[in-house]
Structure 1
Amino acid sequence: MKRQFLQQMAALAAAAAASPFSFAQAAWPDRPIRMLVPYPPGGSTDPIARVLGQKLNELLGQPIVVENRPGGNTSIASAFIAKAAPDGYNLLFSSVSTHVIHTMQSNLPYDSIRDFAPISTVSRSGYMLAVHPSVPAKTLPELIAYAKANPGKLNYGSAGIGNANHLAGELFNMSAGVKITHVPYKGTGAAMIDLLAGRVQMYLSTISSLQGHIDSGALRAIAYTSQPPGKPPVATFEQFGLKDFEKIELVTMLLAPRDTPAAIVNRIADAVQKSLDMPDVRKAIETQNQAPFFMPPAALAERLKSDRAKFAEIVEKANIKLTDV
């Protein structure tokens, strides 16, 4: 009996030596998990992070501490997570386009693909082109014709150089054969103030950030990249012959530091998928004019690579200097 006991203990010791993380994984999580959001409170991404955090708390059995850490075009929070311990207790809730565009800059201390472990996507929202009511055009062909007939009269705003809505505006210029002047702002809030006041006439951004102003009549919708959830059928860019706009959409996602164990990544991804199947979570996401959208780790990894390639193409063709960001 004693000999058998010693053999069992030796086998357990050998297993622990061969796989030093296995016991730690079995206990995970045993303390609160921090989820950094690289944007200010409110906006399109922060509310989704908080809805998800509440459900992950219930499913994983530990508090999810959602912390807003804006600044540096999301690079402050991203750099922190890139350098954090790969133990499953530090997560980044960001968006695919912002993450890959901003980290195409050469002066950042991390790489958007190499330094992160993809967990899953969470939600998606198409883009739309909205104009101030002072613009006489009511359809996309009318807007293009007006821009060509009135060079230099239209401006479009963005949340900053290299931001996704900046790239969307330049894609529109190239696709439609027009030259509408870009006016960068320090964030979405400042750009929206001037758009609603008519100081800039056009904005390309997420349905989730603009649809409320369309519904109120403060802005006019010209075209969408995709059908917004729960709304009557709308005109899309593709219907007007501008087919490259399916590249542009908001996709929120969850990332961990590189080398986070696969068992932890997969457990979080499984909890996200279960959360997105819950009616109250789906309703909360749709209230933000977004749709639940789940991609597992491997699929998200491929999405990050393909998005970086397609945005790099826009940056190159439009001669956008991301080092200016």
Structure 2
Amino acid sequence: MTQRHHARTGRRAFPAIAFALCAGAMVLAASAASAAYPDHQITLVVPYAPGGGVDSVGRILSRGLAKELNQSVVVENRPGAGATVGAGYVKRAAADGYTMMVVDPALIINPSLMANLPYDPLRDFTAVSMLTLSPLMLSVTNGLPAKSVAELQGMAKTGGQGLSFASAGIGTTPHMAGELFKLKTQGNFIHVPYKGSGPAMTDLISGQVQFSFSTIAAASPFVTTGKIRALATTGDKRSPDWPQLPTVAETVPGFKVLFWTGLFVPSQTPPDVVQKLNAAVAKVWQSEEAQEALKKIGETAAPPMSSAQSQDFVHSESRMWATVVKDANIKVD
């Protein structure tokens, strides 16, 4: 073999060697960054205005994570367009574990309702952990004679203009619960969306609407004071906090709706960072302080789940709600 051939071979080999060395250096740098995580402030995005249920969960989590990770965790509210503004912001953030998001099922319901979303929930985000998991409450205005799910269902089949149900807004879990109830019972129900659970409860109390699915936190103060009447909860078993209430499924087989919140990060976040966050959430949620804080806002901590289990849960919820939106022919103007 000639000296010239060796020289050409050496020139061709050099870029490959250099590339391999650079790639190795990048991997080592990334590993070092992950090992040091977190070494500066973390931003926890809540894609809703301050004061709501998701915001409250986010603030409880931020306080706990700050202690567990020994780093400041700042809540940043980025409301708008049913959580899409905040979700779009987190999608564009660096996938390094320093920007994360607490969000509810709107994240995976929106793609079935809206065109041209700035994100794909299953592709652009990784579920770190589920945070809370609670049934909704089905309640009626006191002026409605229905005392059970069966009676409410019967009233919806008697003709007339139908019964109206309130929700916290189009695409929210309470809205989807109403649509699923309508599908499974073939009842004559008319959706009336509101901008939040507060206005929805106000009109339910006054009798402007006949019934509502809502979070337990939103409905229970008015149920306990007798301003509205609770008929059922929406889990697959009775709520330990409201054991006297039957589930909707006891009358309508297969009906199950859970309101959840979860912690998400951009999808390319290093797996060891995701694992570290998952373990931190588990420790925070096991603390008496966090459990008492969640109880005060009417939320229940989700059972411990790995990131993979959380991902599977989110995918299952996405498929279920996409089917409901399609079968109910729900359109967003």
Q: Scaled by the length of structure 1, what TM-score is found?
A: 0.90
Aligned-partner Cα distance in 2 for 1:165–1:317? 17
Any gaps of 5 or more consecutive residues in structure 2? 1-20
2:244 corresponding residue in structure 1 = 233
Does residue 245 (structure 1) correspond to residue 247 (structure 2)? The answer is no
1:1-325 map, 5 Å: 16-95=25-104, 97-104=105-112, 105-226=114-235, 227-240=238-251, 242-246=252-256, 248-293=257-302, 294-322=304-332, 324=333
Structure 2 residue identity aligned to 1:239:
E
Tell me if structure 2 keeps the 8 A contact 1:228–1:290.
no
Aligned-partner Cα distance in 1 for 2:305–2:311? 9
Deviation at 1:219, TM superposition (A): 1.1
SS of structure 1 residue aligned to 2:224 = helix
Deviation at 1:13, TM superposition (A): 10
CA radius of gyration, larger in: 2
| Distance 1:261-1:230 versus aligned 2 partners, 3 A rule | same
Structure 2 residue identity aligned to 1:186:
K
Deviation at 1:317, TM superposition (A): 0.9
| Distance 1:138-1:260 versus aligned 2 partners, 3 A rule | same
Structure 2 residue identity aligned to 1:286:
K
Aligned-partner Cα distance in 1 for 2:168–2:241? 27
RMSD between aligned alpha carbons? 1.9
Deviation at 1:309, TM superposition (A): 0.7
Tell me if structure 2 keeps the 8 A contact 1:16–1:23.
no
Deviation at 1:150, TM superposition (A): 4.9
Tell me if structure 2 keeps the 8 A contact 1:130–1:202.
yes
Structure 1 residue identity aligned to 2:216:
I
| Distance 1:229-1:34 versus aligned 2 partners, 3 A rule | farther
| Distance 1:18-1:131 versus aligned 2 partners, 3 A rule | closer
Tell me if structure 2 keeps the 8 A contact 1:206–1:249.
no
* CA deviation map 1:116-146 (0-9, x unaligned): 1210011111012111101111111111122
Deviation at 1:278, TM superposition (A): 1.0
Deviation at 1:77, TM superposition (A): 0.4
Any gaps of 5 or more consecutive residues in structure 1? 1-11
| Distance 1:210-1:51 versus aligned 2 partners, 3 A rule | same
Aligned-partner Cα distance in 1 for 2:60–2:240? 18
Deviation at 1:228, TM superposition (A): 2.9
Deviation at 1:187, TM superposition (A): 2.9
SS of structure 1 residue aligned to 2:263 = strand
| Distance 1:18-1:259 versus aligned 2 partners, 3 A rule | closer
SS of structure 2 residue aligned to 1:243 = coil
2:3 corresponding residue in structure 1 = none
Tell me if structure 2 keeps the 8 A contact 1:229–1:286.
no
| Identity across matched positions, percent | 37
| Distance 1:123-1:13 versus aligned 2 partners, 3 A rule | same
| Distance 1:173-1:218 versus aligned 2 partners, 3 A rule | same
SS of structure 1 residue aligned to 2:291 = helix
Tell me if structure 2 keeps the 8 A contact 1:43–1:209.
no
* CA deviation map 1:9-57 (0-9, x unaligned): xxx9996454330111122111110101112222222211111110100
Structure 1 residue identity aligned to 2:111:
T
SS of structure 2 residue aligned to 1:193 = helix
Aligned-partner Cα distance in 1 for 2:266–2:277? 13
Structure 2 residue identity aligned to 1:65:
V
